[in-house]
Structure 1
Amino acid sequence: PMRDFNTSDLHPPQNPQAPVNQSSFVENPITLPPAKPAFIWYRTRGTPEFSILRGGGRTACAGPVFHYNSKLKSETKLPKHFDNCLFIYEWTRNWVFTARLDKNEELVDLEPFMPDHSFIRPIDMEFGPDGALYLIEYGTTWGKNENAKLVRIDYIRGNRPPVAKISADQTAGKAPLTIKLSSEGSMDPDDGDSLTYEWRKLPGDGSILSKEANPTLTLQDFGNVQISLTILDRNGAMDVKTIPISVGNGPPTVKIISPQDGDFFEFGKPIEWLVEVSDEEDASINPKRIKVAHQVVSAQSNNQPSNLLIETHPGLSSMKASDCFNCHSVEQQLVGPSFSAISLKYEGVKKARNEAAQRIVNGSSGVWGQIPMMPHPQHSIKVAREMVDWIFALGQEEDTVQRGNSGTLIVHKPSDAKKANRSLLLLEASYVDSGALPVAPLSGSQLIQLRTRDLPGIVADSHQGLKLSEKEVGHIGHGSYLCYQGINLTDIRQIIAYVASAGTGGEIQLRLGSMDGQLIGKVEVTPNGSWSEYFDQPINISPTSGRHDLYVCFDKPGVRSGMMNLASLSFR
């Protein structure tokens, strides 16, 4: 039906062949062109008409149409195969497809574009004057992303180079260090090509250490090195990847003793935390170098950062790949001052960041003594600034960061009530060791998640036979269930279900481990005649200790749907 937004009155649907714009913002009603069916459509659970697009979220984007220009002199332009193809892309599902059109601009075919490549939330694309495709990848999460990037996609004619992948079972440890290297994931896009593997140590004499695909190497000498993998196809095309290895210093072990992963927390109430750190090379653990950070995030999948602390800063990675730790350490003065002293000296000094970055690139003398710092022209100003950011952050404190082996933090409730009811508290402890000269310092960390005592249905880890929405759990029938994994039920005596029912009502059963597991509590929900007026339904539970997967099961034989709606569970 049509709605009058001035009066909120509903009017009969319009004729789709001649819809009329009756808005108050136009002088006279305007008859619009006939409505057309969707060009391409798809549902979250898959669409038979377009099954190739699979299932998932829906954030469809349409890009440019490619028109092949035979007169364009370009080695990178896309081939004629894509002539008159519309490029479509999906921000949520991370794919790009080409929609082939006929001369009447009708859809002929859908074809995945670069199906072997993993796009990271494509959000915009255009063809350049060179005929290459330029694409913006938004990055992993909704917000600021380190992996957001602008990429250019070139078409390479003839033999395509191989793609190298490199990994190691460990990247740091005491000398001698034995590492298992892997080239798993390396591939040649041209079928039939055989690959040759060459492993080298950098810096070094260039000699090949192994020609195996997955060798085991033992590194004897202390220091920071790079292990490189060169793969070549039979036509001589190659790709090279490296991985940094630190020999002589093992990473510290960080463990959050309390609270534990999955525990409950309450806004405004103290959370006492205790951290243990061990490190083979550090004679003693400096509590001031232990950082504990916290962050409140939305309890939705794919919306949590993998780390919170500065030790994962890209500036540190660049420093490890350079020679910074030959002359500096975190705490101790070597050839040059410690990074902690540098951070303290320039705290609050305007323009210090840019000036320090310039000194890294161009070199300097007389700032900390008579020994000059050599220039590093191989680094861009951007990389140098990232290095400086990491150094300066060593002495900075944020409201979300505390230091020491133990402490207490209080997290205040977000002003947005909806966000507060769907929150997780991320707690991460991290420690940077002192290094083992000339090896760079290493960090270790542990990240845990704490839950609020009020858990909405939408944050359940799994479910069956019902429908989840931001507001409620609906379409509940006999045999439906929600599962919350790893719930600490120690000291929990009652779980309150917030429910409404204009349907049949039914029994809520609380079970451990599975929908047929141990029954620890149940209650019969009597309909209140409304789907929107919720009420508290207490469920007393048997004394239960430890962590369990809690199954919230719904029982009403013969009822397929419409037992009740569930908004949340409260653990007391």
Structure 2
Amino acid sequence: MNKSFTLFSLLIASTVALAQVPEENRFQKVVLTENLNEPLELTILPDERVLFVERHGAVKLYVPATKKTSVIATIPVSTKYSDDSEAEDGLLGASIDPNFAKNHWVYLYYSPAGATPENILARFELKGNTLDLNSKKVILRIPVQRDNCCHTGGSIDWDAHGNLYLSTGDNTSPRASEGYAPIDERPGKGPFDAQKSSSNTADLRGKVIRIHPEADGKYTIPEGNLFPKNADGTYDPKTRPEIYTMGHRNPYRIAVDKKTGFLYWGDVGPDAGKDSTGLGPAAEDEFGQARKAGNFGWPYFVGDNKAYWDYDFETKKSGEKFNPDKPVNNSPNNTGLNELPPAQKAFIWYTAAETKRFPSLGSGGRSAMAGPVYYVDDFKNAKRPFPAYYDKKVFLYEWMRDWIMAVTVSPKGDYVKMERFLPNLKLEHPIDMAFGPNGDLYILEYGQGWFMGNPESKLVRIEYNGGNRKPAVAASVDKKAGAVPFKAQFSSAGTVDFDKDTLQYQWKIVPVGSAAASGAPVILTEPNPAYVFKKKGTYKVSLTVTDSKGLKDTQTMTVQAGNEPPQVSLELTGGNRSFFFPEKPIHYKVNVTDQEDGSLEKSSIPASKVRITAAYQDAEDKPKADMGGHQEAPVTFTAGKTLIEKSDCKACHFQDKKSIGPAFKDVAAKYKSDSKAVDLLSDKIIKGGAGVWGETAMSAHPSIGLPEAGQMVKYILSLADEKAAPVLLQPAGEVFAKIPTGGDPNKGVFKFLAAYTDKGANGMPAQTTEQMLVLKSPTLMFGNADDASKNLMRFKMGENNLLIVTQANTYAYFKGIDLTDITGLDLIVAAPKEQLNAQGGIVEIHDGAADGALLGKTEWIAPNDDPNAFTSKTPPKPFKVPLSGQSGLHDLYFVFKNDNAKGALYVPFSVTFVSK
């Protein structure tokens, strides 16, 4: 077959497939209840009631008819280890019987309160909206240890034959093994040896159990479990017949495909940040699939059967690598068989870094969870079935990374592909999900903090609308307050109807409060009308948009008439208006006028009422309007704060309170005086670590670069100092651009803020106006230029965006640069021979266009053999370009020249503007 035709066919096929993906805006997330206390597992009743459990023992029921959630029972549970530290134990799993409509049975898996260390599977009867605790029948008891953490499992599901599946964790502490295989065989170290549980054929921990519950509260063993009966009908005493799969670490959420019988689970993996000769591979989480009973390897193997070494914790020496074809359990803590079934590979596996085999999974913390398989045929009479596109797809999800994947498998069950389900869906650590009878997907969101009630935790329902959709309304106004009379211009810009229906607009202006008696509502029917407010008061303004089929949506805002907002001006009175220069003065002036209060210039507004601040920040943040008349101290290390907010750090840390990890303020206090703290903690962020703050290991983050980790650490360490109120400046004067300790004079911004809150007028509340002025660092990165020639090579290295000049007579330019008081430019340009075969050249600086007036140029940039030049670890000396006689704003074009070059010229890193 013609190769180009094959590629063309694949392109067409992928385009067709892409077109079939349901539009994301056809899905709606509905919050049913929130502010929960560690919700763990849910089960959907036939009438669409939702029963779910919280770890501390609450059994809750959401009733859609009333839209209310209530506690229907409280189970006494153990949630502490013997040393009184917080455990993962508690009320862990919940499910209803397949024949619930007739028998009303509910199954719970939990850690009973009391001195006996065990977890139990028990059955209860749900009577109406009440769980009858007196109906309890204990079906299965699993002995555990409660001296050390961790790993409970606890998920329950069923197959089409009425068999119950229950996941259990390895009940093993990972601390002594530093994130590798927990196989500590020393006397008294049983809690640190998963060979006592996961790889023990006579133990029910670290397993997925499969049993058939009977009406009398007992159970039978289905055919096809891992260890069959002997010829005489008995079982080997060194095996447990309940075991379906073994070799699991913490299979926290499982799901059974009711059509194929395949079992899926997410196994939360270990914590090692890198491969180690003599110990084993870097940590991986697993999504598992079992088409039949089997051994899935833990603690001898991880992922696709990557093997650990047989490490001796007594001698600190490594033996041989474990053999996945013939794993052997010789631990003194093993009570089962020595020779184990061959280890099976994971279905999908991934590290903290981006995984080449499954790049869609991204990077970050890891907590794999398995959800349901969707079948269209199961929802033929449902109100809102998901589209056929998702037929037979497996829904897998990630507690830490907050995504859901729809995975396509072949008829045999082989992995085909995965895609993000609703990429813009915001989740707060999904911990369980299930489809309800109406076709909706229910999701429990645990929330950000471990071992605590989180206000953002919730039960939600994802609904699909396959028909007409209501318009998405956007309403705005150019002026939300003013002295009467004032004209307001309303706008519906941004309003969309995804079905392209004809729309009708209705603006409704309603006086509220004391103004309500002053007149009837005003109705306007234009998309973007203007209106003059003639009477003082507060008005509720709503825009309702109706489509041609009658569906509508509304957005509301408030407008206040009677008090004109103040006018605030902030300007520089001399010097350069683009850049700050460390330790050099910046002259400024602020003026305020207010229609009712007067002006700052005439002293009717006291200078003390105008809040003016100036401060360095290592990166520009998004300012928040100061509506309360109070300005917080600026955050110096904004870049680090932003990186933390975008990372998975908040899954384990809060700023000022302990979660599973220490509070950032406690970390700052501990390392405040340590001169090596930035290097030490940056290394820990990237590689992971354990033992400083408790049992739980910190995950590795190999995808975070060293510069970014350093920024994060600098922000954390800055929390050791209590934030004093910002120093308020006078309305006019000068300030010096001081760079704080740890700040980089070649980066960041110097930000002025000026704000005034008026006194209010005519009985109307006060109004605040704020102005901001930002001066940039005098060093600009060419990779961040406002624009550049399209045929330049661009890429990211560490925290920098870089350009490689691959062709002569190309350019990069910066808009609106003030050259007042600028005496020259320092350009950092590298022309590495070894890495780039660079030809060298010159850089010309032109005004206004690539062929505009020539302002200056560098000397010849010769190629060099510096191995670090390309990485800028040791940047070369700058090429100096003098400037004179320039002032005001200019668009500066940096044109890259070498008429004889055949290939790359050089790498322009940065330009620094030098002030007199």
Indicate the TM-score class for this superposition, using the shorter chain for normalisation.
0.5 to 0.7
Match of residue 290, structure 1, among 610, 615, 637: 610
Cα distance in 2 for residues equivalent to 1:313 and 1:87: 47
Query: The residue matched to 2:608 in structure 1 has which SS?
Result: helix
Q: How many residues align?
A: 450
The answer to whether the 8 A contact 2:583-2:738 is kept is: yes
Range with bigger deviation, 170-179 or 258-267: 258-267
Match of residue 487, structure 1, among 817, 822, 836: 817
- Hey, what does 1:172 align to over in structure 2? 481
Instruction: Specify which structure has the bigger relative contact order, considering alpha-carbon pairs within 8 angstroms and separated by 6 or more residues.
Output: 1
Cα distance in 2 for residues equivalent to 1:553 and 1:38: 48
Indicate yes or no: 2:519 matched with 1:199.
Answer: no
Cα distance in 1 for residues equivalent to 2:459 and 2:885: 57
Q: Give the TM-score taking structure 1 as reference length.
A: 0.64
The answer to whether the 8 A contact 2:309-2:318 is kept is: yes
- Hey, what does 1:506 align to over in structure 2? 841
Name the CA shift for 1:188/1:509 in 2 (closer, same or farther; >3 Å): closer
Cα distance in 2 for residues equivalent to 1:437 and 1:179: 19
Cα distance in 2 for residues equivalent to 1:119 and 1:26: 46
The answer to whether the 8 A contact 2:543-2:554 is kept is: yes
Query: The residue matched to 1:155 in structure 2 has which SS?
Result: strand
- The 5-angstrom pairing of residues 446-465 of structure 1 reads 446-464=771-789, 465=792
- Hey, what does 2:590 align to over in structure 1? 275
Cα distance in 2 for residues equivalent to 1:261 and 1:309: 28
Cα distance in 1 for residues equivalent to 2:748 and 2:763: 44
1:181 Cα deviation (Å)? 1.9
Cα distance in 2 for residues equivalent to 1:304 and 1:280: 32
- Hey, what does 1:379 align to over in structure 2? none
Query: The residue matched to 1:441 in structure 2 has which SS?
Result: coil
Deviations along 1:100-134, whole A, 9 cap, x unmatched?
Answer: 444425336858738xxx667x6754554563346
- The 5-angstrom pairing of residues 115-514 of structure 1 reads 124-125=429-430, 128=433, 131-133=441-443, 152=460, 154-155=462-463, 160-189=469-498, 192=501, 194-195=503-504, 197-203=506-512, 204=516, 207=521, 209-233=523-547, 237-258=551-572, 262-283=577-598, 284-299=604-619, 304-307=621-624, 309=626, 311=628, 398-416=724-742, 419-464=744-789, 465-468=792-795, 469=797, 470=799, 473=802, 475-477=804-806, 478-503=808-833, 504-514=839-849
Write the letter of the residue equivalent to 1:67: V
The answer to whether the 8 A contact 2:503-2:545 is kept is: no
- Hey, what does 2:101 align to over in structure 1? none
The answer to whether the 8 A contact 2:309-2:319 is kept is: no
Write the letter of the residue equivalent to 1:516: D
Name the CA shift for 1:194/1:254 in 2 (closer, same or farther; >3 Å): closer
Name the CA shift for 1:235/1:460 in 2 (closer, same or farther; >3 Å): closer
Q: Which has the larger radius of gyration?
A: 2
Cα distance in 2 for residues equivalent to 1:236 and 1:304: 42
Name the CA shift for 1:262/1:88 in 2 (closer, same or farther; >3 Å): farther
Indicate yes or no: 2:889 matched with 1:556.
Answer: no
1:167 Cα deviation (Å)? 1.2
Write the letter of the residue equivalent to 2:479: Q
Name the CA shift for 1:151/1:298 in 2 (closer, same or farther; >3 Å): farther
Cα distance in 1 for residues equivalent to 2:496 and 2:809: 46
- Hey, what does 2:871 align to over in structure 1? none
Cα distance in 2 for residues equivalent to 1:429 and 1:175: 26
1:555 Cα deviation (Å)? 0.7
Cα distance in 1 for residues equivalent to 2:854 and 2:729: 43
Cα distance in 2 for residues equivalent to 1:163 and 1:471: 38
Cα distance in 2 for residues equivalent to 1:193 and 1:480: 48
Deviations along 1:477-516, whole A, 9 cap, x unmatched?
Answer: 3234332222211121221123333342211111122222
Q: Give the TM-score taking structure 2 as reference length.
A: 0.42
Name the CA shift for 1:475/1:213 in 2 (closer, same or farther; >3 Å): closer
The answer to whether the 8 A contact 1:97-1:110 is kept is: yes
The answer to whether the 8 A contact 1:488-1:548 is kept is: yes
Cα distance in 1 for residues equivalent to 2:511 and 2:383: 33
Write the letter of the residue equivalent to 1:174: A
Write the letter of the residue equivalent to 2:475: I
Name the CA shift for 1:79/1:498 in 2 (closer, same or farther; >3 Å): closer
Write the letter of the residue equivalent to 1:29: K
1:226 Cα deviation (Å)? 1.6
Deviations along 1:453-478, whole A, 9 cap, x unmatched?
Answer: 23333443333314353468453232
1:227 Cα deviation (Å)? 0.9
Range with bigger deviation, 492-501 or 189-198: 189-198
1:155 Cα deviation (Å)? 0.9
The answer to whether the 8 A contact 1:309-1:428 is kept is: no
Deviations along 1:341-363, whole A, 9 cap, x unmatched?
Answer: xxxxxxxxxxxxxxxxxxxxxxx
Range with bigger deviation, 507-516 or 179-188: 179-188
1:245 Cα deviation (Å)? 0.8
1:26 Cα deviation (Å)? 5.6
1:228 Cα deviation (Å)? 1.7
1:275 Cα deviation (Å)? 1.1
Write the letter of the residue equivalent to 1:526: A
Cα distance in 2 for residues equivalent to 1:497 and 1:151: 56
Q: Which runs of 5+ in 2 are unaligned?
A: 1-273, 279-302, 312-316, 325-343, 449-455, 599-603, 632-722, 834-838, 869-873
Write the letter of the residue equivalent to 1:483: Y
Cα distance in 1 for residues equivalent to 2:911 and 2:348: 43
Q: Which runs of 5+ in 1 are unaligned?
A: 8-15, 44-48, 139-147, 315-396
Cα distance in 1 for residues equivalent to 2:899 and 2:447: 49
- Hey, what does 1:67 align to over in structure 2? 373
1:160 Cα deviation (Å)? 4.5
Range with bigger deviation, 283-292 or 253-262: 253-262
